[in-house]
Amino acid sequence: MKRKTKFAALLLISAALMLSGCKLTTKDDAAESPAPTQTSETPSDGTKVDIELLGMSSNEADLNIVRDQLTKNGFNVKLNIQADYGSFKSQQDAGNFDIALSGWTSVTGNPDYAVRSLFKTGGDYSILADSEIDALIDKAGSETPEQYTETYKQFEQQLVFDKAYIAPLYSSLKSQAFNKDVLKSDSVRLSKSRSLAWEELDFNDAGKRDKDPIVLQSTMPTLTSLDPIKGNDGSINIINTNQYVRLVNLTDDDKITSEGSLSYNHAIAEGNSDYYFILRDNINFAAVKDKLAVDTGERVGGDDVIFSLNRAKDKNSVPDHRTFTLHEHIGQVELVTDVAALDAVKVSGGSDTVKAALENGLDAKISSLVSDKTQASSKEGKYQVVKLTTTEPFPQVLNYLAHQSAGIVSKKQVEKINTYDVAKFDVNKDIPYGDQNTVTEGSTYNNTLYTSGPYILSYKNEYEAVFYKNPAYMKGTEHEPNVNSIKIRFIKDMDASLSALRSGEIDLLYSVPENKFDVVKGDSKIELQTVPSNAVSYLLFNTKNRAVAESADLRKAVLYSINQDEILAFYGGNKFKAISTLSTMVKTGLELKADSAKVKEYLDAYKASK
C-alpha cells in the first residue's frame, strides 16, 4: 500500500516548530557555508567524474560541505539547488540528480518506521527494488527488540556498505525552550519521538492553574483535521496527540509504556501476533458547550477502541485518509469476554500468563470481563480487555498504536457526524468530523468534537487556538491535567517567535533552530532543552537512467568521500554520526570512515568498466 500523501504532509513538521514528525531534515537558517576547498584529488587517469547533487536552499550549508568533500576526492560537482520542497520534489521525480540530500525523522520510535517505506520495494518513498533488502526488513519486523539488532546490522551492511544505496551524513538534535520563571522545569518534558505532553505542564505558581493559560506557539493557523486519522503533519500532530488518548504511549526515550494511556497494562502473547490491553474506566469523552469543555458522560471503552482501530487501518473509512498505512498490520480487533482465555495464553518470551501480565499492579484482580463499557468497574475487578491480532507477527505494531493517528474517537459521535458516502464525498457540502472550519470562529463555527484525551479544542482564529482540559480525564490521578487552559499562538516567523518567548508573550517554543541556541542560553529566564532526535540526514542515490544507478563502484566512491567528522565539527557538536535512518534507535556498531584511497580505487574501477 502507498503512503501517497504522507511525505509532503510530514515535511510540514519541520516548518511547524510544534513537534517533530517524518520530514526532510533541513538546516533552519543555515549558517554561512564554508568556502570551497581548492585542492582536489583525481582518479589515476587524471580526469574528474561529473556528478549532480540535488538539494534545497535551506540545506545550503550541508550541500556546500558535501560538494567540497566530493570535489577534493575527484568529482566535478554540479549543484542543483531548489528554493522549496515542491520544486525539489519535482526535480527528484524527474530524475534530475545523481545524489539527493534527503532526510527522515521516525516519530513512532521504532526502527520499522525508519526503513519500510523508504527502502522496501514498493514503499511509499522507496526507489529501491532489492529482494535482499526486502527480506531483512520483513525479518526484523517480525522480531522483538532483543532479536532484531543483528538483523538490522545485516540490513545496514547491505544498504550502506555492500550496495551503497545511501551515504549517511548525521543525526540531529530535538530542542525546545521555555520560560522557567513561569513554568515548572520538571513539568516540561522533551521526548525523543512523542509530542509534548500537555497534561504534565504546570506553573511555578499553582494559583495560576485555573485562571491563566499556558501559551505555546505554532507556525500553522490552518489545521489539517481534528480527526486523528486524517492528518500526520505539523499543524495537528501535537494537537491530536493531546486530544485523543491511545492504547499505549512512548516514554521520553522511546520505550512502549501503558503509563498515561487508556490501558492499565498490555501484553504480547506467544507468537508475537496477539496483543492484549486491559482498559481504564476513568476517562469520559469531553465536548464543548458555550465554548467551554464539558463532560459528555460517555465513557471511553472497548467499542470505541475497536471502531477507532478498524477505521485507522481502512483507507476507505474517510476521504483523504492519510495514515492508514501506519496501521496496515492490524488484522482483527475484538473484545475478550472469557477470563479463562487469558489464562490459557503465555506472554511472549516468558512464563507468565496474559492474565497475570494484565493484572500486574492492579488494585483488584480480574474477576470478570464485560462487553458493555458502562459495566466496567476496576474497583470490583470488572474490566474490558481488547485483543488485537496482527496480519503477521509484528511486535512494532505497538509503536504505531502510540502514534496520534491511533487516538481513540467516539464511535457514537463520529458515526453521527460522518453520514456522507465516502465514495461520493463532496468537499463543498459534506462536513466531516474534525473539519477545522467547525472550530473556527465565525459563521462556520459548530464544534462537534468529542475527545478522549486530556484536552479539547474550544475554538480557533487566525491569531490563536484555545484548549480546555477534559473535566473527566483520569480525575484525581497523577495523569489529570494540571492546567485548565492551553493556548497556541500562531506566529510564522522564528525570530518573532523567539522574541515572543523572551518578552513573555509565549511560555514555550518548540523546535529552536541551532543557530538560536546561544541567544536562548544568554537569557537568564529561558531554559533550553535538547535531546538527540530520530532525525537523520543522508544522500540518496538515483536508481534510474544515471551512471550511479548502474555502478556500485561509483556509489561507493561517493560514500567514502563523506567525512562525518568534518560535518560534526562544522555544527559544533550539535550533530551526531549515523549509518542509516536506524542509527538513532538501533546501535549496530557499524561506522562510516572517510577513505580517499578507497575513493580512488572505486573511481578507477568505475572508469575501467565504462
Say what the pTM is.
0.82
Over pLDDT 90: what percentage of the chain? 82
Residue 214 phi/psi, 5° resolution? -85, 130
Q: Which residues contact 353 (CB under 8 A, 6 or more apart)?
A: 342, 343, 344, 345, 346, 347
H and E: helices and strands count for the chain:
18, 20
The pLDDT score that the predictor gives to residue 493 is 85
3 state SS for 341-381: HHHCCEECCCCCEHHHHHHCCCCCCCCEECCCHHHCEHHHC
The pLDDT score that the predictor gives to residue 583 is 96
Contact predicate 548/202, CB 8 Å = no
Q: How many CB atoms lie within 10 A of CB 354?
A: 28
Q: Which residues contact 281 (CB under 8 A, 6 or more apart)?
A: 299, 301, 373, 376, 377, 378, 383, 384
Say which residue the cell 549496530 belongs to.
588
The pLDDT score that the predictor gives to residue 24 is 32
Mean pLDDT, residues 285-300? 98
The pLDDT score that the predictor gives to residue 36 is 37
Mean pLDDT, residues 411-420? 98
Q: Band the pLDDT of 8: cuts 50, 70, 90.
A: very low
Strand partners, 456: 468
Mean pLDDT of the chain: 91
3-class SS shares of the chain: helix, strand, coil, % to 5: 30, 25, 45
Contact predicate 527/253, CB 8 Å = no
For 446-485, give one letter per residue: b (16+ CB within 10 A) or e. ebbbbbbbbbbbbbbeeebbbbbbbbbbbeeeebbbbbbb
The pLDDT score that the predictor gives to residue 44 is 58
Contact predicate 513/61, CB 8 Å = no
Can you tell me the distance from the alpha carbon of 525 to that of 523, in angstroms, rounded to the nearest whole number? 6
User: Residues 428-467: pLDDT tens digits?
Assistant: 999 999 999 999 999 999 999 999 999 999 999 999 999 9
Q: How many CB atoms lie within 10 A of CB 381?
A: 16
User: Residues 77-130: pLDDT tens digits?
Assistant: 999 999 888 789 899 999 999 999 999 888 899 999 999 889 999 877 889 999
Nearest to 77 by CA among 112, 50, 96, 109: 50
User: Residues 388-409: pLDDT tens digits?
Assistant: 999 999 989 999 999 999 999 9
Mean pLDDT, residues 564-576? 92
User: Residues 213-225: pLDDT tens digits?
Assistant: 999 999 889 999 9
* 586, pLDDT greater than 70: yes
Mean pLDDT, residues 184-207? 96
Q: Band the pLDDT of 43: cuts 50, 70, 90.
A: low
Looking only at the bridges linking them, the beta strands covering 485-490 and 464-469 are: antiparallel
Q: Band the pLDDT of 58: cuts 50, 70, 90.
A: confident
Contact predicate 405/326, CB 8 Å = yes
User: Residues 133-152: pLDDT tens digits?
Assistant: 999 999 998 888 888 999 99
* 549, pLDDT greater than 50: yes
User: Residues 494-518: pLDDT tens digits?
Assistant: 899 999 999 999 999 998 988 899 9
Q: How far apart are the first and last CA of the chain?
A: 38
Looking only at the bridges linking them, the beta strands covering 49-56 and 99-105 are: parallel
Q: Band the pLDDT of 23: cuts 50, 70, 90.
A: very low
Helix 145-156 vs helix 131-141: angle between axes, to the nearest 10 degrees? 170
Nearest to 538 by CA among 3, 25, 20: 25
Tell me the residue type at 176: Q
Can you tell me the distance from the alpha carbon of 163 to that of 106, in angstroms, rounded to the nearest whole number? 23
